[in-house]
């Protein structure tokens, strides 16, 4: 099960608005920000029509496209040396680079095939361009038509496709191809580009245009070139400068100078440099369009796909130069092997460098959100892992559920009838298990976090929450790494713990609640009995609030309002006052406590807010000296710079007829950028 992710939700949103419009030919060429992604939408259509939008075929298509890019790049390297014994080693090398985890964002979801498709059509165009510009053989005229087709497909695959015709014109000029045909090609390509510009006119701008300074533009450009090598901005930029300089020197001595002296150029080198010019233009386009998001955006893993291909193209050029060089022929094989080893080293480093494994682990977070969603627990905290605006995709979620698509498609593994074969079986108590915590998420949703294993020390296939009548309340595949359990119990490093949703919307739920750990068809499931579900605080959307009488205690660097003034964030409701941990900088640390005075036992609503980082923030709630909640993760679920509301349930804090003696403490120990928090006067629903 692979949930929709980012760009794919746009397709689902459009389906929810109008299925007829979203499945039309016109929709193929509808602008997607500053891009037209017609070929990617074709894959979306095929996934919709034949696979219920389950996403799996799109992930497979990414793998196939990676092999295609590797094959075509190897073909370009050995275009006039078809029987080279190095072809397959380079094909495997380019394939290994194509599966590098530096580009985990593109590899692990099928949401951006356009990165690969535009590379495929550009490589095809370069190969065809070399074929039709070869003066030593007569090429049928229909090859020119094929070139026009691949150019059009490239232009309408992604915004950077407009650079494809420029690269082919460069190739034609270097090959001294017939001027009439070159001009004809340029004219037709200009029509494609004009159509793309017209279709994307009025695309929304992103970020802060004031960030587009010369220094930021250069930092973004060179940082993007070096992003596969390092996630540290300065070092990535240095690697980018080295890459750019290497291409410049090689182009000067092996293309430009021989061309000006009218010497014959190596066919493969011309094709490789033409392809490299497209990749450099890709970096230029991203620099111009995304510097407004900050120079750190250059290091996004999605950009590693074209930039890794650029690095492999450099090694291909170095290898080619070595092969055709007359300098020290006896050392040719040694130098050729050196470039292969260096290229293999780059492919290995970019895959396993620190941070990539952790980045790839974000796929688990998205998949976990998928299990919450398919279990009926569609909270903002989970939806944010799939799309940046949860409210925008809620109509799409309803559409997918009603149409039985994606997470809600009919599946033999996830259907109600398939669970019955396990829930109806007698289950003994699990021998090796522990529930770390059961946490309330909303008025009707909880989650249980823990681990369980069997005598063979395996990770369960499924964790299923059931009530005493064996009704399924939620399910998940264990996805959380548990190094603590691995060490303590002696499990393999691949062992995973669970975070399972518990959906209590049904009024017919029969208590108590338990978890079934399913290890496979040949083994009976075992059962974990859960404690009573706690009534801890949870996020809500309240109505009109009335402020409570409180005493506010500040310690450390805190203030009222204690929010960066540049944000202009006002009080969340009339009569409330703000207290926060920002005084003069993000490095301020301190503590704020609200003591609620002499209030009858009823639910309290706490407005709460945080900066861009939740580092060091914690919230402790006590009633009559008893701990109600000390959840340090509550701030992680909040959206930055937006008031959200935490409901503290009455009968978790006091008993009916008692006074509510409540203390709420926000503590800030974070000194990093954006690490600050704020609360406002607790209130009651009017």
- Do the Cβ atoms of 666 and 581 come closer than 8 Å? yes
3-state secondary structure of 476: strand
3-state secondary structure of 362: helix
Q: Does the predicted TM-score (pTM) go above 0.75? A: yes
- How sure is the predictor about 503, in pLDDT bands with cuts at 50, 70 and 90? very high
Which value, to the nearest 10 degrees, does the dihedral of the CA atoms of residues 454, 459, 460, 462 take? 160
The burial of 432, by beta-carbon neighbours within 10 Å (0-12 exposed, 13-18 middle, 19 or more buried), is given as middle
The burial of 428, by beta-carbon neighbours within 10 Å (0-12 exposed, 13-18 middle, 19 or more buried), is given as exposed
Q: Flag whether pLDDT at 447 surpasses 80.
A: yes
Q: What average pLDDT score do residues 538-563 get?
A: 88
User: Which of 56-65, 143-152, 597-606 is most confident?
Assistant: 143-152
- Do the Cβ atoms of 575 and 684 come closer than 8 Å? no
Identify the pLDDT of residue 414: 58
CB atoms within 10 A of CB 206: 13
Residue-range domains of the chain with CATH: 31-359 (no CATH), 412-534 (2.60.40), 538-685 (2.60.120.940)
Which residues make beta-bridge pairs with 32?
35
Residue recorded with tokens 């969603």: 373
Q: Return d(Cα 543, Cα 313) in angstroms, integer.
A: 59
CB atoms within 10 A of CB 568: 7
Q: Flag whether pLDDT at 171 surpasses 80.
A: yes
Q: Which of 57-61, 190-194, 256-260, 621-625 has the lowest mean pLDDT?
A: 621-625
Identify the pLDDT of residue 432: 92
pLDDT tens-digit readout, 38-48:
898 888 888 88
- How sure is the predictor about 586, in pLDDT bands with cuts at 50, 70 and 90? confident
The DSSP line for 384-447 is: TTT-S-HHHHHHHHHHHHHHT-GGGS--TTTSHHHHHHHHTS--EEPSEEEEEEEEE-SSSEEE
Identify the pLDDT of residue 652: 61
Selection from 562, 558, 631, 549 nearest residue 594 by Cα:
549
Selection from 131, 352, 335, 325 nearest residue 231 by Cα:
352
Ramachandran angles phi, psi of 276, nearest 5°: -60, -35
Q: Flag whether pLDDT at 452 surpasses 90.
A: yes
Which value, to the nearest 10 degrees, does the dihedral of the CA atoms of residues 143, 146, 150, 152 take? 120
3-state secondary structure of 483: helix
Mean pLDDT of the chain, nearest integer: 87
Identify the pLDDT of residue 280: 96
Q: Flag whether pLDDT at 592 surpasses 60.
A: yes
- Do the Cβ atoms of 30 and 396 come closer than 8 Å? no
The burial of 686, by beta-carbon neighbours within 10 Å (0-12 exposed, 13-18 middle, 19 or more buried), is given as exposed
Structure tokens at 240: 């980018």
Q: Return d(Cα 448, Cα 435) in angstroms, integer.
A: 7
pLDDT tens-digit readout, 372-397:
998 999 888 888 888 888 889 999 99
Q: What average pLDDT score do residues 89-105 get?
A: 88
- Do the Cβ atoms of 561 and 680 come closer than 8 Å? no
The two beta strands, 526-529 and 428-429, are: parallel
- How sure is the predictor about 364, in pLDDT bands with cuts at 50, 70 and 90? confident
Q: What average pLDDT score do residues 172-191 get?
A: 94
CB atoms within 10 A of CB 387: 23
Structure tokens at 190: 């200009």
Residue recorded with tokens 């008031």: 643
Identify the pLDDT of residue 224: 94
């Amino acid at each position: 099960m692979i949930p929709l992710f980012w760009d794919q939700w746009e397709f689902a949103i459009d389906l929810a608005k109008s299925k007829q419009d979203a499945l039309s030919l016109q929709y193929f060429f509808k602008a997607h920000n500053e891009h037209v992604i017609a070929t990617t939408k074709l894959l979306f259509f095929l996934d919709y029509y034949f696979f219920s939008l389950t996403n799996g075929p799109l992930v497979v298509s990414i793998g196939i496209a990676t092999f295609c890019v590797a094959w075509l790049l190897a073909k370009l390297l050995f275009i006039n040396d078809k029987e080279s014994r190095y072809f397959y080693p380079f094909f495997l090398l380019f394939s290994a680079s194509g599966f590098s985890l530096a580009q985990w964002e593109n590899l692990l979801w099928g949401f951006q095939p356009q990165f690969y498709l535009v590379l495929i059509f550009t490589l095809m165009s370069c190969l065809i361009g070399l074929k039709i510009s070869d003066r030593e053989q007569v090429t049928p005229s229909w090859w020119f038509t094929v070139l026009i087709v691949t150019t059009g497909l490239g232009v309408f695959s992604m915004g950077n496709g407009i650079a494809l015709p420029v690269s082919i014109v460069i190739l034609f000029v270097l090959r001294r191809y017939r001027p009439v045909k070159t001009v004809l090609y340029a004219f037709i390509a200009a029509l494609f580009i004009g159509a793309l510009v017209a279709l994307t006119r009025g695309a929304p701008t992103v970020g802060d245009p004031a960030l587009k300074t010369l220094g930021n533009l250069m930092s973004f450009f060179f940082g993007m070139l070096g992003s596969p090598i390092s996630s540290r901005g300065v070092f990535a930029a240095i690697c980018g400068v080295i890459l750019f300089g290497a291409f410049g020197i090689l182009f000067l001595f092996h293309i430009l100078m021989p061309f000006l002296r009218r010497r014959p150029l190596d066919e493969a080198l011309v094709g490789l440099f033409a392809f490299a010019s497209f990749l450099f233009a890709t970096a230029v386009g991203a620099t111009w369009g995304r510097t407004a998001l900050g120079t750190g955006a250059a290091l996004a893993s999605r950009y590693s796909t074209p930039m890794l291909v650029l690095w492999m193209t450099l090694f291909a050029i170095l290898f080619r130069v070595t092969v055709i060089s007359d300098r020290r022929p006896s050392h040719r094989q040694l130098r050729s092997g050196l470039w292969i080893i260096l290229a293999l080293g780059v492919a290995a480093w970019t895959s396993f460098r620190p941070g990539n494994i952790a980045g790839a682990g974000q796929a688990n977070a998205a998949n976990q959100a998928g299990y919450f969603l398919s279990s009926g627990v569609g909270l903002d905290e989970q939806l944010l892992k799939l799309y940046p605006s949860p409210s925008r995709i809620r109509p799409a979620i309803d559409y997918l559920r009603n149409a039985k698509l994606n997470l809600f498609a009919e599946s033999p593994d996830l259907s109600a009838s398939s669970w019955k074969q396990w829930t109806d079986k007698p289950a003994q108590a699990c021998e090796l298990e522990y529930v770390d915590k059961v946490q309330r998420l909303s008025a009707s949703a909880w989650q249980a976090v823990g681990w369980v294993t069997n005598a063979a020390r395996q990770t369960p296939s499924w964790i299923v929450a059931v009530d005493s009548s064996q009704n399924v309340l939620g399910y998940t595949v264990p996805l959380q790494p548990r190094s603590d359990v691995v060490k303590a119990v002696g499990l393999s490093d691949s062992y995973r713990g669970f975070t399972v949703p518990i959906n209590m919307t049904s009024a017919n739920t029969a208590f108590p609640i338990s978890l079934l750990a399913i290890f496979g068809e040949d083994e009976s499931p075992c059962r974990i009995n859960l404690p009573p579900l706690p009534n801890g605080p949870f996020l809500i959307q309240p109505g009109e609030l009335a402020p409570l009488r409180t005493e506010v205690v500040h310690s450390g660097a805190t203030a009222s309002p204690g929010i960066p003034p540049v944000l202009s964030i006002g009080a969340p409701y009339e009569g409330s006052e703000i207290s926060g941990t920002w005084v003069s900088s993000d490095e301020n640390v301190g503590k704020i406590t609200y003591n609620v005075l002499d209030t009858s036992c009823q639910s309290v609503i706490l407005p709460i807010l945080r900066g861009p980082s939740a580092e060091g923030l914690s919230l402790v709630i006590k009633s009559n000296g008893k701990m109600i909640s000390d959840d340090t993760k509550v701030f992680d679920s909040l959206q930055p710079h937006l008031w959200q509301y935490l409901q503290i349930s009455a009968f978790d804090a006091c008993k009916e007829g008692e006074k509510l003696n409540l203390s709420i403490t926000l503590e800030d120990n974070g000194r990093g950028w954006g690490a600050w928090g704020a609360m406002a006067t607790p209130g009651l629903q009017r």
